[in-house]
C-alpha cells in the first residue's frame, strides 16, 4: 500500500493499494473513534463492494447504515441529495459520526455535498471505485450536484478525512468507464508533467495502475495545496472542461464526463492555436494519446449547440470567462475571454 499526505486547510491521507477494501475498517479506525458510519453507494457498486466494506467496518467496531442511489450522472441532483440528507437524519447521525462515499465520482460528489451541509458539516471518507474518482474527484474537496442549467452549479469545498483507493475495484469497470479516468490522467500530464505524458503515450498505464493513481493524486495535491479554493492556479485542472461540460450536458449525460473532457481538451488545444493563445497546435498529439485508450476526440455537436450551455459555466465571472490553454506539454495557463471571444473559441474548437 502507498500513502500520500494531502495538505490544505485540513490535511488527510490517501491510501492506494490492491485488495485494501477488506482492511478499510482498520484504516478508518486510524482517524476515528467507533461511531456510526453511513455508507452511501449506488445501485451498481453496492452489490459488488458494500458487503466487504460493511464487514470490515463492523469488525473494527463501527455501526454501519447504508443507502444507495441509482447509478449514473442523472442521480447527481437535488432530489437524491435531499434523499441522502433525509436518510442521515432518520438514521440519527450526529456530528461525531461519518459518511463514506463508496463509488465513482457521482457518489463522491453528492455524498461530499451532503457531508458538507448535514448538521452544517460532518466528516466523510472517499472510497473511489472508478479510475476517474481515484485519479481526480476523490481528492481536492470539491463536492457538488448538478442543476438543470449546468454541471456542479451547487456545491461546497469540503475535503474528505481520508481516501481509500483499492485499485482491485477497477477490475469490474466496463472498458469505457475505465477510459473516463484515462482522460483525467492525460489531463494531469498535459498541465503538469511532460514525462508522465510520454509514459502514457507509450501505453504504460494498465500495468502500473497504483503508481499512475499516486502520480495523479500528487499532481492534483500540488494544485490544490497552493490554491484550494480555485481562485487561480487550481483552475488549470479545468483544462478541457468548459467545452467538455457543455458536450456532457448537451448529450443528456449519454457522453460521460471523461469522454466529454477528452473532446474538450482537443477542442481547446485547437482553438487556442487558431486564436493565437498557444504558439503550437497540440491538438494532434493530444488526440493520438486519447485515441490510444479508445477515447473520442471530436464533438458530435456544432458550436451553436454548445455556446449557450458553456456560457453558464461556473468559471464565468460577469461578462468574462476563463479558459485554460497549453503553453507546452506539461504547462498550462489561463486566458480571460469576453463573451464574443469565448464564442469564437468554441467555434474554432469544434467548428461552426
Ligand atoms: P460514475 O460515478 O457515474 O461511475 C460510472 C459508472 O461506473 C456508474 O454506472 C457506476 O455505478 C459504475 N461503477 C463505479 N465503480 C464501479 C466498479 N468498480 N465496477 C463496476 N462499475 C462501477 O462516474 P465517474 O466517471 O466515476 O465520475 C464522474 C463524475 O465525477 C462527474 O459527475 C464529474 O463531474 C465528477 N468529477 C468530480 C471531480 C471533483 O473534483 N469533485 C473531478 C472530476 C470529475
Ligand atoms: N477537477 C477539478 C478540480 O478539482 O479542481
Which ligand is nearest to the Cα of residue 239, counting in written order? Answer: 2
Nearest CA to ligand 1 atom 30: 105
List, for residues 100-111, the tens digit of each pLDDT value.
Answer: 999 999 999 999
> What dotted CATH number matches 2-172?
3.40.50.1970
List, for residues 28-62, the tens digit of each pLDDT value.
Answer: 999 999 999 999 999 999 999 999 999 999 999 99
Q: Which atom of ligand 2 is nearest to the CA of 238?
A: 2
Distance of CA 330 to the CA centre of its chain: 20
Flag whether pLDDT at 8 surpasses 90: no
Q: How far is the CA of 55 from the centre of ligand 1 (A)?
A: 24
Architecture of domain 175-350: Up-down Bundle (1.20)
What is the rounded average pLDDT for all residues in the chain?
96
Q: Which atom of ligand 2 is nearest to the CA of 220?
A: 4
Measuring from each residue's beta carbon to the nearest atom of ligand 2, which residues come in under 6 Å? 136, 140, 142, 230, 234, 237-238
| Highest mean pLDDT pick, 8-12, 79-83, 147-151, 207-211 | 79-83
Listed in order, the ranges of the chain carrying CATH 3.40.50.1970 are: 2-172
Q: For 201-216, what is the mean pLDDT?
A: 91
Listed in order, the ranges of the chain carrying CATH 1.20.1090.10 are: 175-350
Q: How far is the CA of 56 from the centre of ligand 2 (A)?
A: 30
Helical spans, DSSP H, in the chain: 24-29, 45, 51-59, 78-90, 105-117, 131-132, 175-192, 194-201, 209-226, 241-250, 257-274, 283-292, 307-311, 339-350
Which ligand is nearest to the Cα of residue 72, counting in written order? Answer: 1
Q: Which atom of ligand 1 is nearest to the CA of 170?
A: 18
* pLDDT classification of 317: cutoffs 50, 70, 90: confident
Q: What is the pLDDT of residue 315?
A: 72
Amino acid at each position: 500500500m502507498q500513502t500520500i499526505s494531502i495538505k490544505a486547510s485540513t490535511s488527510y491521507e490517501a491510501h492506494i493499494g490492491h485488495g485494501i477494501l477488506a482492511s478499510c475498517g482498520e484504516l478508518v479506525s486510524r482517524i476515528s473513534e467507533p461511531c456510526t458510519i453511513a455508507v452511501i453507494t449506488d445501485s451498481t457498486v453496492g452489490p459488488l463492494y458494500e458487503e466487504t466494506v460493511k464487514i470490515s467496518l463492523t469488525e473494527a467496531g463501527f455501526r454501519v447504515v447504508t443507502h444507495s442511489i441509482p447509478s449514473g450522472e442523472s442521480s447527481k441532483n437535488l432530489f437524491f441529495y435531499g434523499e441522502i440528507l433525509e436518510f442521515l437524519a432518520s438514521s440519527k447521525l450526529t456530528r461525531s459520526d461519518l459518511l463514506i462515499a463508496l463509488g465513482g465520482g457521482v457518489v463522491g460528489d453528492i455524498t461530499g455535498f451532503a457531508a458538507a451541509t448535514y448538521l452544517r458539516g460532518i466528516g466523510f471518507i472517499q472510497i473511489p471505485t472508478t479510475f476517474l474518482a481515484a485519479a481526480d474527484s476523490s481528492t481536492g474537496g470539491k463536492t457538488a450536484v448538478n442543476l438543470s442549467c449546468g454541471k456542479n452549479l451547487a456545491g461546497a469545498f469540503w475535503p474528505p478525512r481520508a481516501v481509500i483507493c483499492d485499485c482491485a475495484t477497477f477490475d469490474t469497470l466496463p472498458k469505457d468507464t475505465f477510459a473516463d479516468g484515462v482522460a483525467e490522467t492525460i489531463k494531469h500530464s498535459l498541465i503538469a508533467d511532460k514525462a508522465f505524458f510520454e509514459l502514457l503515450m507509450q501505453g504504460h498505464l494498465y500495468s502500473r495502475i497504483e503508481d499512475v493513481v499516486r502520480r495523479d493524486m500528487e499532481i492534483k495535491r500540488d494544485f490544490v495545496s497552493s490554491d484550494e479554493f480555485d481562485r487561480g492556479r487550481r483552475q488549470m485542472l479545468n483544462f478541457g472542461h468548459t467545452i467538455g461540460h457543455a458536450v456532457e450536458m448537451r448529450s443528456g449525460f449519454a457522453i460521460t464526463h471523461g469522454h466529454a473532457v477528452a473532446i474538450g481538451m482537443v477542442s481547446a488545444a485547437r482553438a487556442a492555436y487558431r486564436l493565437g493563445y498557444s504558439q503550437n497546435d497540440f491538438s494532434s498529439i493530444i488526440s493520438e494519446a486519447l485515441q490510444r485508450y479508445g477515447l473520442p476526440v471530436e464533438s458530435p455537436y456544432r458550436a451553436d449547440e454548445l455556446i449557450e450551455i458553456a456560457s453558464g459555466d461556473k468559471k464565468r465571472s460577469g461578462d468574462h470567462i476563463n479558459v485554460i490553454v497549453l503553453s507546452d506539454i506539461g504547462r498550462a495557463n489561463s486566458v480571460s475571454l469576453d463573451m464574443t471571444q469565448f464564442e469564437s473559441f468554441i467555434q474554432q474548437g469544434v467548428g461552426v
